[in-house]
Amino acid sequence: MYYRLVIIGLLSAMSSVVMAENLYLQAINEVVLTEQQLVKSQEKVEAHEDIEVKQALAMPPFHKRGKLNTSLEYTACTNCHLDPPHTKSQRSRTFMNMHSQFITCESCHFRPKDKTLDYQWEDVRDGKRIKAKTKLFRQVTSLEEKPEERVKALHSYYKITPFYQGEAAVLRKSSEFSKESQRLWEEGTTDEKIKRRALIHAPLSEKGPECSACHDKEDSLLDLTELGANSYQANKIYNNMIAQFFGRYKEEDSRIRIMRILK
Ligand code: HEC
Ligand code: HEC
Ligand code: HEC
């Protein structure tokens, strides 16, 4: 078939050790692109513009800007996406960019329906799993603990990551597949870019989960206790006022009263 793409050979030839590919790469290998996916990808590639995020502005901005998040350098997603990646939804982009400091892109965007993933902390620099502990959360551990103490204890390289059969289901910048993708993105023909973009996105969900997918104890993607949260932290995260507000008001222009958050 014309659109059947075989990339498995390239991936396995790179390593002498026979290593199982992670679930995301496996899913990419199994993709057989449809005409529709290619047409859509073509539109996206043609409309894509590289926007440069200005670090040093001539005029200091009124609001203090955060630094770029260097922990995002380790995911292949930022080969093409901005840091911070969310720009389109005015309503939620700030929250989603904030979450990408402690949750990998794939936790929200790679959620295959037929597989149960196991969410754990990993160090994105080397992909090593990190033992669950209360300290990994930004959320304070008790009423008495001060938030300032907490923020200092954190490292933004530690992120919640989906695992499957012991392997993180992520697209690391250091993987051969990602290096090849980057090469194509920079030097490939338009056709190659379109196909590669379509392959990478075929297993992903466009939208990402609702807030309630994690902030509602009943059907949460994440088992916060297994990730190390104590019961105070878990309750605070499951009953987060802002996340609940997002569930109730879905319009772009709904407003929340500050008084309600403070209660
Ligand atoms: C080879 C380049 C490339 C890579 C790598 C890449 N993307 Fe994209 N992605 C794009 C382009 C181009 C678009 C279209 C929007 C734009 O121009 O930013 C897009 C769009 C998206 C969208 C919006 C929905 C859609 O399909 O248009 C999501 C969500 C997304 N990417 C997530 C990711 C995630 C998560 C990763 C990493 C696992 C990733 N992308 C890696 C190029 C890439
Ligand atoms: C906590 C969940 C979450 C994480 C983590 C996350 N996303 Fe998203 N993403 C979403 C949701 C929800 C949307 C739908 C639009 C919105 O709410 O901003 C989205 C939309 C997008 C879009 C399309 C809309 C836009 O603003 O361009 C892109 C591209 C994207 N994500 C890329 C990424 C990349 C790259 C990462 C990792 C660096 C990432 N996302 C991490 C939840 C997440
Ligand atoms: C993939 C899971 C996931 C999704 C989806 C998600 N969150 Fe969260 N969110 C978390 C986790 C985990 C924490 C706790 C992080 C910590 O304490 O380190 C959190 C923390 C927060 C916090 C507190 C941050 C702080 O530092 O005090 C707010 C506010 C929040 N989320 C709002 C939202 C909103 C609004 C949405 C939807 C637009 C959303 N979240 C979607 C997992 C998620």
pLDDT in tens, 191-244: 999 999 999 999 999 999 999 999 999 888 999 999 999 999 999 999 999 999
Ligand 3 atom nearest to 208, measured from its CA: 5
Q: What gap in Å lies between CA 238 and CA 193, rounded to an integer?
A: 41
Q: What gap in Å lies between CA 158 and CA 164, rounded to an integer?
A: 18
Pocket flag, ligand 2, residue 225 (CB < 6 Å): no
| Ligand found nearest the CA of 247 | 3
pLDDT in tens, 117-170: 999 999 999 999 999 999 999 999 999 988 777 776 677 899 999 999 999 999
- Look at the block and give the residue holding tokens 């002498």: 16
What per-residue confidence (pLDDT) applies to 203?
Answer: 97
Whole-number Å distance, alpha carbon 156 to ligand 3 midpoint, is 15
Whole-number Å distance, alpha carbon 212 to ligand 1 midpoint, is 24
| Ligand found nearest the CA of 87 | 2
Pocket flag, ligand 2, residue 15 (CB < 6 Å): no
The residues near 140 (Cβ < 8 Å, ≥ 6 apart) are: 146, 147, 149, 150, 232, 233, 236
